[in-house]
Amino acid sequence: MKAKNSSLKSGFILRLIIPLLCFMTVEAILSYFITWHYVDTAYDRWLLDSARSLVQEIKVKNHKARVELPASALEMFKWDEADKTYFKIISAEQGVIAGDAFVPESFDPKADWSQPIFFNETIYDESVRVVSMLIQRPEINEKVFVHVAETLNKRRAMMRDILIADLLPQSILVLLTGFYIVTGVKRGLKPLHKLADEIAQRSPRDLSPIAETYVFSEVRCLTDTINDLLTRLACAIAAQQRFIANAAHQLRTPLAGLKLQAERAMREDDLAAMRPALVQIQTSANRATHLITQLLVLAKAEPVEGMHRLQAVNLAALAREVCIDWTPKALQKKMSLSFDTQTDTLFLKADEILLKELLANLLDNAISYGNEHGTIGVKVYCQPSITLMVEDDGCGIAETELDKVFERFYRPANSSGEGCGLGLAIIKEIADLHHAQISLARVNAAGGLRVEVRFCE
Ligand SMILES: Nc1ncnc2c1ncn2[C@@H]1O[C@H](COP(=O)(O)OP(=O)(O)OP(=O)(O)O)[C@@H](O)[C@H]1O
Ligand SMILES: [Mg+2]
């Protein structure tokens, strides 16, 4: 699956700037409500003072409330540059004693009149803040209410000033922080760009490690991983080159033989004289064919991602089939080839063709290096784990050679036959692909080789 193409830089910036903006928004909303509360409280106190100054003007005449406000006092009361002020003094018996009848009153039945009551209303579609007070004096026989209303211009102006004073420095701070984050992230990611440039400018042949000039541990960790990969890649390429050189060398021998013998045959006139050269040509061609076949099998067994589809394979049936195919070859050397299995169905996840190649190479070795008139036993069993076993009664492999025989093109000095030293390397490669373990052991004191391939399910 192709990974979504996203930038580390934008990822960092978004992760830092979005929370910053969220914090700022929450802070602005909180500031708004807190400021509103304090502005309201401050101006409510002023409004209450105005209402109290009106209360001073209530006089008593015949146990009734009277208000006689001179025009100058009324003007002073109402004078305000920013807001309009309205008032109403009303008694339960006389109705409006003074002021504007349209000033709203609180009709809240649960209102507690022992305290001044503040509420918001509108006068001529304009929002006002109203304070209402109940005046009860022993010398007045009736309830008198004082209502004072004021428009909200001063409050709004004060709110605006406080919010600007609060938000302006904050916005500048956020802008500066954002700028610092963007440039900081850019600078922080510079080593990565430098590293990418350095790798991009390399020649494909340059597998030398990246210089350890990077200060940041994260980038160092990346360069260390890349260096580790480069080292492994260099080893793999060196092994590949060794393998190609060996394969070329191995192929050159039978091809040189072919050429030589063909030249020799061409110098002869009659068929009888040509025959020895033709036999040599056949031998060289067989060797070349065998080598090429082994090389192809080895290439097929290479662990390439997605190339091998492992599916359920009946190991017992597969081993029986391969043994039947190889019986004629064993009989040529007068060997008996037996097959034994604990059960006829023994399924495991495998690549069927490669598994056949594995057993074919084991049988080829048993026939090539086993005793004439000897016996070869192939066994499949599932306890303690699924195992394929091939044993012969030949000379076996010396203890000191056991590790080396799995190397490509390696043949012990005393090896007989025309092999090219790839069989066990192929077997190992296929076993590794199936996560199987191989063990080589002597059959008994007289010799023989037992090869066990144990599959871990
Ligand atoms: N069953 C065996 N008995 C004795 N020696 C063996 C046996 N199997 C392998 N060997 C030894 O291990 C060596 C390596 O075996 P391997 O199968 O890898 O190569 P090869 O048989 O020489 O060539 P190839 O299999 O590629 O034709 C052989 O040359 C042989 O000396
Ligand atoms: Mg072999």
Threshold 0.85, pTM exceeds: no
For position 75, what pLDDT does the model report?
77
For position 22, what pLDDT does the model report?
92
Ligand sitting nearest the alpha carbon of 250: 1
Q: What is the phi/psi pair of residue 145, to 5°? A: -115, 140
Q: Which atom of ligand 1 is nearest to the CA of 290?
A: 27
Tell me, what amino acid is at 351? D
pLDDT of 435 over the 90 cut: yes
Give first-to-last CA distance, the chain, whole Å.
28
Q: How large a percentage of the chain has pLDDT more than 70?
A: 98
Report yes or no: 199 and 210 within 8 Å, Cβ to Cβ: yes
pLDDT of 287 over the 80 cut: yes
pLDDT of 124 over the 70 cut: yes
For position 306, what pLDDT does the model report?
65
For position 48, what pLDDT does the model report?
94
| Mean pLDDT of the residues in the chain | 89
Q: Within 13 Å and on the Cβ side, how many CA atoms surround 400?
A: 3
Q: Which residues of 31-43 are buried (b: 16+ CB within 10 A; e: fewer)?
A: eeeebbeebbeeb
Does residue 405 line the site of ligand 1, with CB under 6 A? yes
What single string gives the DSSP state of each residue in 116-167?
Answer: -EEEEEEETTEEEEEEEEEE--TT-SS-EEEEEEEESHHHHHHHHHHHHHHH
Query: Mutate which of 368, 375, 401 to test ligand 1's pocket (most atoms within 8 Å of Cβ)?
Result: 368
d(CA 150, CA 123): 9
Say which residue the tokens 């699956």 belong to.
1
Categorize the per-residue pLDDT at 291 as very low, low, confident or very high, splitting at 50, 70 and 90: very high
Lowest mean pLDDT of 239-248, 273-282, 383-392, name the range: 239-248
pLDDT in tens, 11-24: 888 888 899 899 98
For position 4, what pLDDT does the model report?
62
d(CA 247, CA 311): 32
In order of their start, the domains of the chain are 8-160 (3.30.450), 217-301 (1.10.287.130), 311-455 (3.30.565.10)
d(CA 287, CA 252): 11
Categorize the per-residue pLDDT at 312 as very low, low, confident or very high, splitting at 50, 70 and 90: very high
**CA 365 / ligand 1 centre spacing (Å):** 5
Q: How large a percentage of the chain has pLDDT more than 90?
A: 56
The three-state secondary structure class of 455 is strand
**CA 219 / ligand 2 centre spacing (Å):** 48
**CA 317 / ligand 2 centre spacing (Å):** 23
Q: Give the pLDDT mean for 391-397.
A: 94
d(CA 87, CA 149): 6
Query: Mutate which of 329, 401, 405, 426 to test ligand 1's pocket (most atoms within 8 Å of Cβ)?
Result: 405
Does residue 394 line the site of ligand 1, with CB under 6 A? yes
Does residue 377 line the site of ligand 1, with CB under 6 A? no
**CA 418 / ligand 1 centre spacing (Å):** 10
Does residue 295 line the site of ligand 1, with CB under 6 A? no
Q: Give the pLDDT mean for 354-366.
A: 96
Give, as one character, the DSSP assignment of residue 68: -
Lowest mean pLDDT of 206-215, 297-306, 444-453, name the range: 297-306
Element (H, E) at 353: helix 352-369
pLDDT of 5 over the 80 cut: no
Query: Mutate which of 292, 364, 369 to test ligand 1's pocket (most atoms within 8 Å of Cβ)?
Result: 369
Report yes or no: 380 and 362 within 8 Å, Cβ to Cβ: no
